[in-house]
Structures are given as C-alpha cells and as structure tokens.
Structure 1
Amino acid sequence: MRRETAYKLAGRHHDHPAPGTGIEKEREIRFKPLPPGQVERAWLALRVLKDLHVERTQDPLCLRVRYSVLDYSLETLEDALREAGYALDNTLYSKLVRALVYFCEETQRHNLISPERLIKQSHEVYIQAWDQHAHGDHDDTPVDLREYK
C-alpha cells in the first residue's frame, strides 16, 4: 500500500502546516568590518527579495532579516551573499550559531514538506484496506453444500 493511500484511509489531512510551528524566523547576518560599505550594499540587495524583511540594527556590521522557512533559509541567504562577494563574520561563535541555525531550519523545512506519520490510527488503515481487497475469507460455495449432513 502506498503511503498516500494509508494517510487518506486514516483521515489525515496534510494540506497545511500545523499551527504554531514557528515558520517565521528572525535572524541576524553579521559582516566583517572590511571592505567598508558592504553592509549598506547588502541591505539594498536583500531589500528587493520578495517576502524578505531586512532591517538595520544598532550594530553597524549587522543586518536583521525576517522570513518564512518555507521561502528562505539563513544558509541560502548567506551563501548568496558570499557568492556576491560579501565578507561575513567568521568567528568561532558565529560559525557555531550558523551551523545550529542551518541544521534546525533544514530539519524544520524537511518536516513541514513531508507528510505526517501515522501513529494513533494506523490499525484502522489496515482494517479498511483489508475490507477493500479480495481475500481468502470468502467462500463461493453455497451454504447448504458447505454443511456436512
């Protein structure tokens, strides 16, 4: 039985993410001090992206971004900035935070796009599937011929 069939028989609907999943993220992108003016150029470049909100912070080497995990991830944003020639902060602390955020967002995206697993109603799926298929419990012999006299 295909997974989708099992989910439909169990009455599960996977059309939308569960409420409260926290798909809206607010992150900081930190830059190196050199070359000068790169934070301003990055702010202008990121502002044109749809559904991405970019703000300046009190820190002159930092930008705050807000986005949905379904649209963007911090990893894709930072990779795009690196490819465009921007120098991002590479301190040990930044690398650790970055690795944790990348992992969490990737896991959350994977969980949101994959169907829910059957946990509580899985037995009902197999009962319904058994009822819909021909199986060995059916005997075509008439009742009077089945009984021994």
Structure 2
Amino acid sequence: MEKMNDQARQSPMQKAISRVSYAFGAFGNDVFYGALSTYFIMFVTTHLFNTGDKAQNDRMIMYITAIITILRVVELIIDPFIGNWIDRTKTRFGQFKPWVVIGGTITSIMLLLLFTDLGGLNQSHPYLYLVVFAILYIIMDIFMPLKTLHFGQ
C-alpha cells in the first residue's frame, strides 16, 4: 500500500525519468549478459590463447572452461547468502538501489578486465593468468546478481 502511495505522489516528469532509467538499466543488463554469454567464449578461444602451440592452447581453454564451471557451482552456494545480505539492507536510498549501483559498477569493471590479456600475462605466465582470471571471475559472479535487482520490490 505504501509503494502505491509513493507512485501516486510522483510527478509525470519523475515517472518518465523512472521509466527511462529502468529501460536503460534493462538494456545495459542485456548487453552485459550478451557480451558475457556470447563473445567471452569467442574471445577466449580465438584471441586469448593463440600462441601457435595447439596443445597448450587447448589445455588453457580447458582450464578456463573448468574454472567457469566450478565457479558457477560455487555461485549457487553463495547466492542465498547474498540475497539474505540484501534483505537486511536498510539505507536512505532504499533496500536495492545501493546494491544495483555497487553490483553494476564492479561487474562492469571485472568484465572489462576479463576481456583483456591482463598485460600479456596469458602469454608470459599462463598459470598465473588462470589464478587471476579465477579471482576476477568469482568477484564478477558474486556481484552480478546485485545489478539485476528490481527497484520496485
């Protein structure tokens, strides 16, 4: 009932800004997901490990795939704790807005870093690259659900 009263008190301009903001947020989320689900595997298989040693390249791609699979399972375990953490949030900006901003910012930075070779680390120290990749990916995976929260809940 309180949510309905808040919406009724909004001016037409505030409603328009809210709708446009939501639309841009949804578009950004879809672009992020598209980049991660489609182009990331293409980046890994065609650009990241392209040393000329096919056996080494295949092994590194296998390790990246295994890391992503394992971290997705770990994410299933972590997500309920993140949800509980969010449910307990009480700020002057609301329950979800701070987490949307934090989640969107951190996941964007992590995605940008994941689409690099980390300064040539993949060629010079490939196993160190895998460790750094795993750390960056789990950070992105932890903060990714935060950016998809709904303002109106």
**Same-fold call, TM cutoff 0.5:** no
TM-score, with structure 1 as normaliser: 0.28
More strand by share: 1
Larger radius of gyration: 1
Select the structure that is richer in helix. 2
Normalised to the residue count of structure 2, the TM-score between the two structures is 0.27
